[in-house]
Amino acid sequence: MTVIVSLDRFAAETLRTAIGPDTDILDSLQDVGGHLASHPAESVIVVAPSIDMEAALALAESLRVAKPHIGVVLVRQRVDSTLLAEALRCGVRDVVGDRDLAAVSHAVRRARELAGRMRQYSDEDLREEETRRGRVITVFSAKGGAGKTTLSTNLAATLADGGKRQVCIVDLDLAFGDVSIALQLFPAHTISDAVPLADTLDVSGLQALLTQHSPGLFALSAPLEPGQAEHIPASLVTDLLTILRNQFDFVVIDTPPAFTDHVLAAFDISDVVALLATLDIPAVKNLKLSLETLELLNYPRERWRVVLNRADSKVGLDINEVAKSLHLTIAAQIPSSRAVPASINRGVPIALDEPQHPVSQAIRLFAEQHVLPAAGAGHAAIPASLRTDRRGLLRRKAKQI
Ligand SMILES: Nc1ncnc2c1ncn2[C@@H]1O[C@H](COP(=O)(O)OP(=O)(O)OP(=O)(O)O)[C@@H](O)[C@H]1O
Ligand SMILES: [Mg+2]
């Protein structure tokens, strides 16, 4: 059930057309308490533009403590990033413009879904949920175009398995991320919207920034403008990932082709780092340097997995020779197929569209053998004492990569 609070009856009726007939209308915030007492199943409160902003935020703040499952959706005539940040900080689940009725409907639907999920848990379950640790998997390659976005989006879809597990894919390719394109998502919010929330970031604030792709699969999208990356501190990435791994069974991270501070923050919190390579000399050289860099950073070896993409390409390099010369085992081999770019152009992961395709099967096998087995167990975060002075180390290394 949903309730609209509005001083303006006509505006309330317009909102009701977007939300659905099963919606009550109150003409004062004062009536909300009584309404909630007599309607315990209420899950979403839509606050219309005619209601004073401060009073609406005070309501959201008090509900966040007293009835955290109830979502407040704020409808305003103008939505800007300052308003959004302030609202999310107070516990508002979403802020939408009053003329965008599709966004209003979408925001209410998401708030209802979240309320439903939060209700599923008793207080005891909630406590357990807060301390639960999902697994974090970072997909990385120091060379561009190796297939990171392909593997990360398909791995996330494979793990979600139509809603069997809760998975969030995080696009840490902050300048040129294309997870949204590969999944054909139109994100209302991106990781940039988390910047003003920084210290007050919590589960409901972060949930509001996610975009749902399909049952069990959510995305935290990269900023829409490349320049915004520099405003996102690495510490924020650590905070975001920490909250997400407590909420999701799996967090899959797509990365840019460089050892940025954001990528290092992701490595620190990851249970598995999938290092992608292809069978060409520059890629093998980059893989070698990446492995050396990870070693230099004291990154535990048992967490690396080398994944060969386009493994069947006949380009003169032998897989076994490469593995032998680098003293490593190849965890997975993904074949080359024209179906891959075609699936990206369609915006549907090949793992969902063609689950029996050899590419989908290879990714499923990787998930089953290297990602799923220790689900729930998790590794400890890498202690700060193990992390050497990275900037100096990487500066020297960057000259080589
Ligand atoms: N197994 C494969 N077979 C055929 N084409 C592939 C395969 N894997 C990836 N590709 C194609 O290679 C291109 C690069 O892939 P992708 O975008 O996943 O790489 P990336 O590592 O994320 O690149 P970037 O470093 O630019 O982010 C895409 O056009 C993709 O469709
Ligand atoms: Mg990419």
Do residues 234 and 265 lie in contact, with contact meaning Cβ atoms separated by under 8 Å? yes
Distance CA 278, CA 58 (A): 54
Give the architecture (CATH level 2) of 131-398: 3-Layer(aba) Sandwich (3.40)
Q: Tens-digit pLDDT profile for the chain (401 aa)?
A: 899 999 999 999 999 999 988 899 999 999 998 888 888 888 999 999 999 999 999 999 888 878 888 899 999 999 888 888 888 888 898 999 999 999 999 999 888 888 877 766 545 555 555 556 799 999 999 889 999 999 999 999 999 999 999 999 999 999 999 999 999 999 999 999 998 887 778 887 888 899 999 999 999 999 988 888 889 999 999 999 999 998 899 999 999 999 898 999 999 899 999 999 888 888 888 888 888 888 877 788 888 999 999 888 776 677 788 788 778 889 999 999 999 999 988 889 999 999 999 999 999 999 999 998 754 444 555 544 445 455 555 655 555 55
Give domain limits for the chain.
2-120, 131-398
- pTM score, two decimals? 0.73
CA distances from 365 to 48, 297, 372, 377, 394 (A): 49, 29, 10, 20, 33
Ligand of minimum distance to the alpha carbon of 344:
1
2-120 and 131-398 have identical folds: yes
CATH code for the domain defined by 2-120: 3.40.50.2300
Do residues 200 and 89 lie in contact, with contact meaning Cβ atoms separated by under 8 Å? yes
Ligand 1: residue of 143, 150, 262, 337 to mutate (most ligand atoms within 8 A of CB) is 150
Closest atom of ligand 1 to CA, residue 144 = 25
Distance CA 260, CA 172 (A): 10
Closest atom of ligand 1 to CA, residue 335 = 1
Which segments of 206-343 are extended strands (E)? 211-214, 217-220, 250-254, 272-277, 304-309, 330-334
257 lines ligand 1 (CB under 6 A): yes
How far is CA 310 from its chain centroid?
26
143 lines ligand 1 (CB under 6 A): no
Expressed in angstroms and rounded, the spacing between residue 145 Cα and the centre of ligand 1 is: 5
Q: Where do runs of H (alpha helix) occur along 121-172? A: 123-131, 148-160
Expressed in angstroms and rounded, the spacing between residue 384 Cα and the centre of ligand 2 is: 29
359 lines ligand 1 (CB under 6 A): yes
345 lines ligand 1 (CB under 6 A): no
337 lines ligand 1 (CB under 6 A): yes
What are the tokens at 97? 């413009």
333 — phi, psi (to 5°)? -125, 115
Ligand 1: residue of 149, 280, 309 to mutate (most ligand atoms within 8 A of CB) is 149
